[in-house]
Amino acid sequence: MQSEPATGALEFPPGFTWGAATAAFQVEGCTTADGRTASIWDTFCREPGRVLGGHTGDPGADHYRRVAEDVALMRSLNLGAYRFSVSWPRVRPDGGDLNPAGIGFYDRLVDHLLDNGITPVATLYHWDLPQALEDRGGWAHRDTAARFAEYAETATAVLGDRVSMWTTLNEPWCSAFLGYGSGTHAPGRSDPSAALAAAHHLLLAHGLAMPVIRANARDAVAGITVNLFPVLPASDSAADADAARRVDGLQNRLFLDPVLRGAYPADVLDDVRHLGLAGCVRPGDEEVIAAPVDFVGVNFYRDHHVAAAGAGERAGGAWPGSEDLVFPPRDLPVTALGWEVRPEGLTELLVGLDRDYPGTAWYITENGAAYDDEPVGGEVDDHDRVSYLDGHVRAAHAAVTAGVDLRGYFAWSLLDNFEWAEGYAQRFGIVHVDYATQVRTVKRSGRWYAKVAADNRVPGGAEVW
Ligand code: PNW
């Protein structure tokens, strides 16, 4: 990979938002403090073999205790916005009543952010379902959507006067299909019917929460964050084209169409009819899910290169009803997770979204990469991450130039953190965290990003930053 940005400087439109993102379970640590109860991830971490190294939500980046220091760090990086998630089991332990100490943490975080001129961007659900609700069926159970609306009421009643940008869910595809389909994420279930039921109940939860947010956060904008992939067939064969259609359907359209067009995509409903999705969808549900959103957040890491599987090959349960898929590798650079790097995919995705869902405002709510970086002499020279971020920010700029209404970009992640099933083995931060001491070291990518955020412009290759 190139190690430095190689092309000229690019200016972004005035008012473009530059932020960084985290999620509660990944950074906070302190998983039993102040009345917090277990989430499905606390349980999952304790099941042998689920999370690499047997790692858990502790210590995280100890953000729960270091919030003032971390907000000062954000300010030093010139961030205009900070995307964080609110922890349901802190705010309503076991999914039950309000816990003032739990919501108090977010109250202080928001005040610190505002004092430092940083816009708080809150996500209500970044995967930490209270275990007590999973015990009653979790997202496969319709009632969980109603419990989510109650939790949204609690969170927005306290924070809605100061948080001006809300998203309901982070990546419902992961919650539903990795959580209940492939079983690689909490709660670790492998049941394609439950996975599709979970997808519907997550979308219903989103739709039920939207009017709650509107009522309690009157001046705020509100939407949803989804993880989208441009899908490329591996060949022009009819079988590969159909594999690509099915992946695009389950990954992208299953979540976007009901929110932005008011109905599930007919071809996907047909594909999964034998798994009972249609049976979960009651009259009126699609109207609830289609509550108008002010924006859609897109998390982008890579594209999908898809082929129909040969005999004996299977993609696993992350594609319910479409297990006969493979993702053939290409000759591309990869991150430490083996994820292929092709920034043009981001431009293709955004231009395609603008064509298929015209009139929508978009944010990139996550983009980033894992690389193996360790401090050497007090410096982290993560040239690969600078190159990844530079390439993707340039790809975002190309979409803006093509007329896409893209309003902002959030780097994933502010801090190295608990990377789900990978534990602490994978580092996504623009700031390095030494987990033993919790010392933060701004990486080279963090310095680069601070320059981008300050100037609203990507520096050219010859510039020093
Ligand atoms: C997203 N996949 O997760 C999440 O929103 C973050 O919490 C996470 O740390 C980040 O991306 C990096 O992984 C994903 O398997 C996890 O396709 C897995 C997948 C996609 C997104």
Whether residue 341 lies inside any domain: the answer is yes
79 CB within 6 A, ligand 1: no
- Annotation marks residue 134 as catalytic: no
Whether residue 464 lies inside any domain: the answer is no
What would the mean pLDDT of 49-75 be, rounded to a whole number? 98
Say whether pLDDT at 259 is over 70. Answer: yes
- pLDDT for the residue numbered 316: 79
Say whether pLDDT at 3 is over 70. Answer: no
Say whether pLDDT at 82 is over 80. Answer: yes
- Annotation marks residue 344 as catalytic: no
pLDDT band at 463 (very low <50, low <70, confident <90, very high): confident
Say whether pLDDT at 233 is over 50. Answer: yes
What would the mean pLDDT of 150-177 be, rounded to a whole number? 98
Whether residue 23 lies inside any domain: the answer is yes
Whether residue 207 lies inside any domain: the answer is yes
Single out the catalytic residue among 28, 134, 171, 286: 171
Whether residue 44 lies inside any domain: the answer is yes
- pLDDT for the residue numbered 1: 43
Query: What's the pLDDT tens digit per position in 412-435?
Result: 999 999 999 999 999 999 999 999
Number of domains in the chain: 1
- pLDDT for the residue numbered 18: 99
419 CB within 6 A, ligand 1: yes
Annotated binding site: 26, 126, 170, 301, 412, 419-420
Q: What is the CATH number of the domain that holds 417?
A: 3.20.20.80
- pLDDT for the residue numbered 6: 62
The ipTM (two decimal places) reads 0.93
Question: Which ligand 1 atom sits nearest the alpha carbon of residue 337?
Answer: 13
**Domain carrying residue 309:** 10-459
Whether residue 1 lies inside any domain: the answer is no
Single out the catalytic residue among 134, 153, 286, 366: 366
Whether residue 390 lies inside any domain: the answer is yes
pLDDT band at 5 (very low <50, low <70, confident <90, very high): low
Query: What's the pLDDT tens digit per position in 317-327?
Result: 899 999 899 99
Whether residue 2 lies inside any domain: the answer is no
Q: Judge contact between 76 and 125, C-beta under 8 A.
A: no
- pLDDT for the residue numbered 60: 98
Average pLDDT, the chain: 96
pTM above 0.95, yes or no: yes
